[in-house]
Structure 1
């Protein structure tokens, strides 16, 4: 066993640790942790990517709103809102919300 071997092993452990910390930070993000949604959506955007790739994301999202209500977490930093009364709050000028797809 040489120094290069240990360097590679510790690099792999550090990388796995960083990924784990990132996933846990996504899961327990303040302000979003209590919003319901698919379990995998709390950790990564891969859930939404797969849903869109299947071609039925719009149906899935409608069903999620039926199950969980007007706010659904569909990604680590992504909330879907189905309440029409929220439109002026979210899309109004200088409201502080980031609007993106």
Structure 2
């Protein structure tokens, strides 16, 4: 199975070296060469989601995020590809923008991934189209008209 003169340990060293090199390259790319690299935040958040996981387990992510905002300002990098925004005007602009949502919204596809509903739609343009289709049902005038049927 192994070439003459080579041992299992030698192959294991090569594989371990390749894995460590790959991890180092991912770390360097996420930490210093990401389009978010100029946004301050906790060290773990600059290359992984470990910061978020640790504080989710502790149960007080919101308090830690607020502390990071006090330390770093309105924009805090809390994950290698995620930024927490703490300024009301910026939040408004983000919500009005036509950016695609993150992949984690796909979890709301119920009963399974074949059904993409309003909440699980990640494509901004399709989300807007779906919103226009359901928006009339939430208009105040239509809610008032439906109230007698709902109140039964």
TM-score, shorter chain, exceeding 0.5: yes
The runs of 5 or more residues in structure 2 that have no matched partner are 106-152
The 1:42/1:93 distance shift into structure 2, 3 A limit, reads: closer
3-state SS in 1 of match to 2:67: helix
Q: Pairwise CA RMSD of aligned residues?
A: 1.9
- 2:20 aligned with 1:25: no
Q: Map 1:1-101 onto structure 2 (within 5 A).
A: 1-92=5-96, 94=98, 96-99=99-102
3-state SS in 2 of match to 1:79: strand
The runs of 5 or more residues in structure 1 that have no matched partner are none
- Cα distance in 2 between the residues matched to 1:68 and 1:21: 27
- Cα distance in 2 between the residues matched to 1:97 and 1:35: 20
Query: Could you tell me the TM-score, scaled by structure 1's length?
Result: 0.85
Structure 1 stretch 13-22 or stretch 25-34: which is displaced more?
25-34
- Cα distance in 2 between the residues matched to 1:55 and 1:61: 12
Q: Answer with 1 or 2: which has the greater Rg.
A: 2
State the aligned residue count: 100
- Cα distance in 2 between the residues matched to 1:32 and 1:84: 20
Higher relative contact order (CA 8 A, sep 6+): 1
Query: Could you tell me the TM-score, scaled by structure 2's length?
Result: 0.59
The 1:22/1:56 distance shift into structure 2, 3 A limit, reads: same
| CA shift digits 1:28-77 (9 cap, x unpaired) | 13321111111121121111100110011110101111111100010111
